[in-house]
């Protein structure tokens, strides 16, 4: 971090997440969501639902688990601050731990952490607040959020906008727009810019800056998205990586494009 900051104007963000029911698996180069051959560890999730039919079944989190995980996220934010990262991002997407609370497909709890969207958001908001309180107020924080589960009975756009507004009220400065992978039944129209329409809706309905990818591979595509007011930052994907894996969580080669000043990502520019 010191080297980057002393030799360039580049900014670096760190994503914090918890694998939840998608944990204890082999490296992605060996296959997606494949169990370790040995040494598997216990998993946690909102409800005891395995991610795939051959996945390890997670244990539904108890209140003591939630308190511990919140503390761990807060500690991670403190370490990121000490390392002088420029921005933090929390992962509320793709079926991982925090996403498992948000979606009605994976949160089947009958206590105060399940039910309607307000109750399903209780634990994710506790984590967000723990991180926000540990992170400098003059540095931005974003959330990667699956706005659509891509499956029947999943999160609605109305609920997604409500989630975004809850996060914004607590100090979220930007949303990275993602979708799908909540369950293996998720079906999305993968293709060039397939996330742009979702970004457009949440950006203009919730009034929050958005960052979007979805296989944008040229400067012309990015300029079109930015100029149309459909996003504030774009992720540029390498075409050869798209060909390797059309269902990856995110491209491996990322570049941000757009005008951060126009995005008005407060409290600081990126």
Q: Cite the active site residues.
A: 96
Beta carbons of 66 and 126 less than 8 angstroms apart: yes
Q: How far is CA 145 from CA 2, 34, 179, in A?
A: 30, 24, 7
CA atoms within 13 A of residue 174's CA, in its CB half-sphere = 27
What does the alpha-carbon distance between residue 180 and residue 182 come to, in Å, rounded to a whole number? 5
Specify the 3-state DSSP secondary structure of 92: strand
> For residue 194, what are its two tokens?
């397939």
Q: Which of 249, 247, 252, 173 is closest to 211 using CA atoms?
A: 173
CB contact set of 4 (below 8 Å; sequence gap of 6+): 10, 12
CB contact set of 110 (below 8 Å; sequence gap of 6+): none
């Amino acid at each position: 971090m010191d080297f980057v900051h002393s030799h360039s104007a580049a900014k670096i963000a760190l994503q914090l997440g918890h694998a939840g029911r998608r944990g204890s698996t082999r490296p992605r180069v060996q296959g997606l969501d494949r169990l370790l051959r040995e040494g598997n560890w216990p998993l946690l999730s909102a409800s005891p639902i395995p991610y795939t039919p051959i996945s390890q079944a997670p244990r539904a989190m108890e209140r003591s688990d939630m308190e511990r995980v919140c503390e761990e996220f807060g500690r991670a934010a403190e370490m990121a601050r000490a390392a002088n990262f420029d921005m933090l991002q929390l992962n509320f997407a793709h079926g991982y731990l925090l996403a498992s609370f948000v979606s009605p497909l994976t949160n089947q709890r009958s206590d105060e952490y399940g039910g309607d969207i307000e109750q399903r958001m209780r634990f994710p908001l506790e984590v967000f607040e723990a991180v926000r309180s540990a992170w400098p107020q003059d540095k931005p924080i974003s959330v990667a959020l699956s706005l659509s589960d891509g499956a029947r009975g999943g999160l609605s756009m109305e609920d997604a906008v409500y989630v975004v507004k809850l996060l914004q009220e607590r100090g979220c400065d930007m949303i990275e727009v993602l979708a799908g992978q909540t369950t293996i039944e998720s079906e999305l129209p993968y293709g060039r810019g397939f996330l742009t329409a979702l970004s457009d809706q949440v950006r203009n309905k919730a009034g929050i800056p958005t960052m979007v990818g979805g296989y944008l591979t040229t400067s012309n595509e990015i300029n079109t998205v930015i100029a149309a007011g459909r996003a504030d930052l774009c992720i540029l994907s390498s075409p050869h990586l798209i060909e390797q894996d059309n269902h990856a969580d995110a491209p491996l080669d990322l570049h941000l494009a757009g005008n951060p000043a126009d995005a008005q990502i407060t409290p600081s520019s990126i």
